[in-house]
Amino acid sequence: MRRSALDFLGGMQSMSLAQLSAILAVTAQPFSADFAGARFIQLYLYAHRVDGLQPGVYRFWPERAELEQIGVKTQRVAAAGLSLGQELAGNACVAFSMTGDLERAARAHGDRGYRYVHFEAGAIGQCMYLAAEALGLGATGIGAFYDEKVNRYLNLTPEQGQVIYHFAIGYPVPDLRLRA
Ligand SMILES: Cc1cc2nc3c(=O)[nH]c(=O)nc-3n(C[C@H](O)[C@H](O)[C@H](O)COP(=O)(O)O)c2cc1C
């Protein structure tokens, strides 16, 4: 059943904190690859409608399973605007920027580090697709975003990495192309 949502219902319906926690937990699971010993991807969240979570921008700390709020309520406009103006990133319940520590990856793996960071982001995205579907939600990977604007919005220094991938999760609009 896993499909990419074309857009999300942007109304009042929220996702629960338990659903978000389950999705974040899968992003922290180890995955099997010869380069996967060290992790290079960091998740930032644009929380729009999550029960019990103040709308805003958060950094996810996987070791402690904690969210640290780093921004306030303009995150909906920011998520869509930074995602090349794609409204689905604002209509979702939660959108993500995955940032990657490219410098550390290059130190560990040489030129291949750049590719491995993208593999890791892709693997996390596919796990989030499946988790969202299993929880009755929908998801869309977002490869179109304004790199430098995202890096500035998140206050990333080059040493902290740069944006690699965007993602959105929420209640999908009906997709008339699909039949059960
Ligand atoms: C890496 C990646 C980037 C994507 N970027 C976008 C995007 O920027 N906007 C969008 O609407 N969909 C985006 N998608 C969703 C694709 O359009 C979708 O995966 C593709 O049409 C295949 O459909 P499916 O995922 O339902 O199999 C992206 C998907 C992936 C995996």
Give how far Cα 172 sits from Cα of 5, 6, 93, 118, Å: 5, 7, 10, 26
**CATH label of the domain that carries residue 54:** 3.40.109.10
CA of 142 from ligand 1 middle (Å) equals 6
Instruction: Indicate whether this model's pTM tops 0.85.
Output: yes
Please tell me the total count of domains within the chain: 1
pLDDT in tens, the chain (180 residues): 789 999 999 888 999 999 999 999 999 998 888 887 889 999 999 999 999 999 999 999 999 999 999 987 789 999 999 999 999 999 999 999 999 999 999 999 999 999 999 999 999 999 999 999 999 999 999 999 999 999 999 999 988 899 999 999 999 999 998 876
CA of 8 from ligand 1 middle (Å) equals 14
The CA distance from 122 to 50, in Å, is 24
In a domain, 159, yes or no: yes
In a domain, 1, yes or no: no
Which residues have a Cβ under 8 Å from the Cβ of 6 and sit 6 or more positions away?
Answer: 88, 140, 172, 173, 175
In a domain, 12, yes or no: no
In a domain, 175, yes or no: no
CB distance 146 to ligand 1 below 6 Å: no
> By residue range, what is the domain housing residue 39?
17-170
In a domain, 116, yes or no: yes
Q: Which of 1, 3, 4 has most ligand 1 atoms within 8 Å of CB, for mutation?
A: 4
112-134 and 102-109 are packed helices; what angle lies between their axes, rounded to 10 degrees?
A: 120
CB distance 85 to ligand 1 below 6 Å: no
In a domain, 176, yes or no: no
In a domain, 83, yes or no: yes
In a domain, 147, yes or no: yes
Query: What is residue 91's three-state secondary structure?
Result: helix
